[in-house]
Amino acid sequence: MPSDLWLPLAKKMVETIDGLDWCVFGKNGSDVTSYAITLARVYTGKMDILLARGSYHGSHFWCQPHGQGVPEEWKTHVHYFEYNDAEDFRRVWAEHQGTVAGVVLTPHRHDAMRDQELPKPEFVEAVNSLARKDGFMVIIDDVRCGFRLDIAGSSKHYGWKADIQCFGKAMANGYAISVAGARRELMEAAKTIFFTGTHFFSGVPFAAALACIDEIRASSAIEHIRRMGTMFMNGLADAAAAAGVKVSVTGPPAMPYMTFADDPLFETNRFFCGEAARRGIFLHPHHNWFVCAAMQEADIQKTLDVASVCFKLTREKIGG
Amino acid sequence: MPSDLWLPLAKKMVETIDGLDWCVFGKNGSDVTSYAITLARVYTGKMDILLARGSYHGSHFWCQPHGQGVPEEWKTHVHYFEYNDAEDFRRVWAEHQGTVAGVVLTPHRHDAMRDQELPKPEFVEAVNSLARKDGFMVIIDDVRCGFRLDIAGSSKHYGWKADIQCFGKAMANGYAISVAGARRELMEAAKTIFFTGTHFFSGVPFAAALACIDEIRASSAIEHIRRMGTMFMNGLADAAAAAGVKVSVTGPPAMPYMTFADDPLFETNRFFCGEAARRGIFLHPHHNWFVCAAMQEADIQKTLDVASVCFKLTREKIGG
């Protein structure tokens, strides 16, 4: 049911997130990434959107190049570059110079089925400066990372000069709410955009988000997550080394991921994660993981103990 | 957080809704109407979708012809006919014969800013029989009407032979969940469709939907709503007549709407609804209303008492 928490949450978001002067609310990540590209288009009067190849921004037609049942022309006006490759970004921009409305980027690279990559400072600088020069919008899709790396947003954490930012997931501890917001200058453009949906006005997720954001701050959850994640990533690397298994542990401590060397089809990873699941620990073989505020040292240690056993089993399976 | 309620709710939906053999879950109406057209496309191998002009099926790019910031080619493959006009439906179908994947219809016509219309039996029959003959899918967007007119779905209520059905809103009493489901034959096609989203797996809305559907049945909520709505619609018509104001009260009793004669810009309706709001009754001047299970005779009577006062004020304002 609707409530009077809409405005308090909007104020909370604007107070909390760096560079956010106003915002709208949706239910899931796709709602707000689709809103963000529309806002960039209306504000700039241009239509082309640049996306990093392999980055995930939702399941709407425009951002699922692999989807079945989507007409080809419903995927137009979207052009792909390589994440963290400033030269490739400039090349794709130059090919569409004059028609680029915005670039959509995850704060760091957390595509499924590959090692995570933190954004290279020269890539961040290239995007920031070209956007300022050309007038296209920097849209940071902080749906997955938001409220995990920095309470003020992952754009601040990594140095993105975001014009438009999207949040979801962690902000209401699982209650269905998502947010897109932007700088003050984009507010007029927003007035012409059609954006609504079933359940968008339900009060419960607004209350959950307000409580959750306050609790993240009061409990220093982000610092705790960073400590637990660091303990986990270091322990995981040590346990793999002790078992003689080569792994790559990547990502910020709040959201680690691990791959095995010479494992292009993730068969070794599925074996490892399957053995861990049998022992009560859920790790995903294809998707990055999340450390949450409820996890304590004993939980991390238990996870590392199980991982040690599973690394030994993996070593036996794949050989030396 | 994910829970083990996914399968129980899927079973509950299949047991409850007529003609539904399986289903998927989203968060809002647009999620599932977009899924539905994709399913129709993959199943039929065709791309064109027929829509009733003015009907609302969500805020995604393909179904918002009035939206700003959407490239023209992102609105292709969608063709419009007049609701309740069998001849016009056949004409638009014939123009695209051979490429029609499906037709999307609300159970009855409940577009904003116009009187509601119940579906004419000959229109229902024309759509049902042409779909069977040509092999395109009948997609019923029951997001707004579902769980208000018939526990088994509004398709059953009105006689639509639905291949794909979409639900949301009332099914979980405001918790964010939506559903698309179909006949068994479409299950294989569904396996190739990419469909997911932030919060899609949260457990709370699944628990809410399970509880709500059980409660609707146990409390005979739909019959109660019909009685209350009938009392409201009859009383409203009587009160308008008594005040000498010409109105049109339309829709099924569960979701009435009222317009004034000679009020093309809804100025009279906004005056009437504004006066009602001052007296504690919220009525929408542009959008159909909903009777809910919590409303009792005393609530309806209070609403009618306020309406009587407001009809008199309206009569004074607009003259005889």
Decide: helix, strand or coil at residue B139: strand
Task: Dump pLDDT digits (tens) for A273-301.
Answer: 999 999 999 999 999 999 999 999 999 99
Cross-chain Cβ contact A68/B199 below 8 Å: no
Q: Does B205 touch chain A (CB under 8 A)?
A: yes
A232-241 burial, b for 16+ CB within 10 Å, e for fewer? bbebbeebbe
- Residue B126 pLDDT exceeds 90: yes
Task: Give the confidence band of B2 by pLDDT, cuts at 50, 70, 90.
Answer: confident
Q: Give the pLDDT score at A1.
A: 63
Measured between CB atoms, which of B39, B192, B195 is closest to A59?
A: B195
Mutate to test the interface with A, among B34, B59, B167 (most CBs of A within 10 A): B59
Residues of chain B in contact with residue A175, where contact means CB-CB under 8 angstroms, are 199, 202, 204
Q: Does B61 touch chain A (CB under 8 A)?
A: yes
Residues of chain A in contact with residue B28, where contact means CB-CB under 8 angstroms, are 26-28, 31, 197-200
Residues of chain B in contact with residue A194, where contact means CB-CB under 8 angstroms, are 59, 64, 66-68
Task: Dump pLDDT digits (tens) for B155-210.
Answer: 999 999 999 999 999 999 989 999 999 999 999 999 999 999 999 999 999 999 99
Contact present, A224 and A293 (Cβ < 8 Å)? yes
Q: If you count residue pairs, one on A and one on B, with CB atoms under 8 Å apart, how many are there?
A: 153
Task: Give the confidence band of B320 by pLDDT, cuts at 50, 70, 90.
Answer: low
Tell me, yes or no, whether B93 and B240 share the same domain. no
Q: Give the pLDDT score at A85.
A: 98
Tell me, yes or no, whether A269 and A165 share the same domain. no
Q: How far apart are CA B86 and CA A111, in angstroms?
A: 48
List Cβ neighbours of B264 (8 Å cut-off, separation of 6 or more): none
Tell me, yes or no, whether B184 and B51 share the same domain. yes
Q: How far apart are CA A61 and CA A30, in angstroms?
A: 10
* Among A101, A97, A9, A117, residue whose Cα is nearest residue A53: A117
Contact present, A20 and A14 (Cβ < 8 Å)? yes
Q: Give the pLDDT score at A3.
A: 85
- Residue B128 pLDDT exceeds 90: yes
Query: CA A125 from chain center: how many Å?
Result: 19
Task: Give the confidence band of B1 by pLDDT, cuts at 50, 70, 90.
Answer: low
The answer as to whether A1 is a domain residue is: no
Please report, as a single letter, which amino acid is at residue A84: N
The answer as to whether A39 is a domain residue is: yes
Tokens of A283: 């790790």
Mean pLDDT, rounded, of chain B: 96
- Phi/psi of residue B197, each to 5°? 180, 160
Mean pLDDT, rounded, of chain A: 96
Q: Give the pLDDT score at B64.
A: 85
* Among B169, B96, B174, B172, residue whose Cα is nearest residue B136: B96
Residues B289-318: what's their mean pLDDT?
97
Decide: helix, strand or coil at residue A197: coil
Q: Does A176 touch chain B (CB under 8 A)?
A: yes
Q: Give the pLDDT score at B66.
A: 72
* Among A232, A197, A225, residue whose Cα is nearest residue A292: A225
Tell me, yes or no, whether B263 and B179 share the same domain. no
Q: Does A148 touch chain B (CB under 8 A)?
A: no
Q: Does A205 touch chain B (CB under 8 A)?
A: yes
3-state DSSP percent of chain B in helix, strand and coil, to 5 = 45, 15, 40
The answer as to whether B11 is a domain residue is: yes
Using the 3D structure, point to which of B202, B218, B234 is the last residue of a domain: B218
The answer as to whether B203 is a domain residue is: yes
Residues A64-75: what's their mean pLDDT?
84
Question: How many other CB atoms are there within 10 angstroms of residue B153's CB atom?
Answer: 26
Cross-chain Cβ contact B69/A199 below 8 Å: no
The answer as to whether B1 is a domain residue is: no
Report the DSSP beta bridge partners of residue A140: A105, A165
Using the 3D structure, point to which of A193, A218, A243 is the last residue of a domain: A218
Task: Dump pLDDT digits (tens) for B4-61.
Answer: 999 999 999 999 999 999 999 999 999 999 999 999 999 999 999 999 999 999 999 9
Q: Closest residue of A to B77, CA-based?
A: A71
Contact present, B50 and B96 (Cβ < 8 Å)? yes
Give the domain range for residue A189.
Answer: 6-218
Residues B110-125: what's their mean pLDDT?
98
Task: Give the confidence band of A67 by pLDDT, cuts at 50, 70, 90.
Answer: confident
Q: How far apart are CA B22 and CA B186, in angstroms?
A: 9
Q: Give the pLDDT score at A68.
A: 85
Task: Dump pLDDT digits (tens) for A219-277.
Answer: 999 999 999 999 999 999 999 999 999 999 999 999 999 999 999 999 999 999 999 99
The answer as to whether A257 is a domain residue is: yes
C-alpha dihedral, B93 to B97 to B103 to B108, nearest 10°: 20
Q: Give the pLDDT score at B65.
A: 74
Tell me, yes or no, whether A47 and A192 share the same domain. yes
Say how many domains are in chain A: 2
Tell me, yes or no, whether A143 and A257 share the same domain. no
Tell me, yes or no, whether A17 and A164 share the same domain. yes
Using the 3D structure, point to which of B218, B244, B262 is the last residue of a domain: B218
Residue spans of beta strands (DSSP E) within chain B: 22-26, 48-52, 78-81, 100-105, 137-141, 164-167, 178-182, 247-250, 257-260
Tell me, yes or no, whether B193 and B228 share the same domain. no
Task: Dump pLDDT digits (tens) for A180-222.
Answer: 999 999 999 999 999 999 999 999 999 999 999 999 999 999 9
* Among B185, B181, B140, B159, residue whose Cα is nearest residue B44: B185
- Residue B316 pLDDT exceeds 80: yes
Contact present, A120 and B175 (Cβ < 8 Å)? no
- Residue A99 pLDDT exceeds 90: yes
The answer as to whether A99 is a domain residue is: yes
Tell me, yes or no, whether A102 and A241 share the same domain. no
Residues A15-37: what's their mean pLDDT?
97
Residues B273-294: what's their mean pLDDT?
97
Residues B73-99: what's their mean pLDDT?
96
Tell me, yes or no, whether B290 and B144 share the same domain. no
Task: Give the confidence band of B72 by pLDDT, cuts at 50, 70, 90.
Answer: confident
Tell me, yes or no, whether B234 and B286 share the same domain. yes
Q: Of chain A residues 261-280, which have a CB less than 8 A from chain B? A: none
How far apart are the CA of B292 and the nearest CA of chain A, in angstroms? 12
Q: What is the CATH number of the domain that holds A113?
A: 3.40.640.10
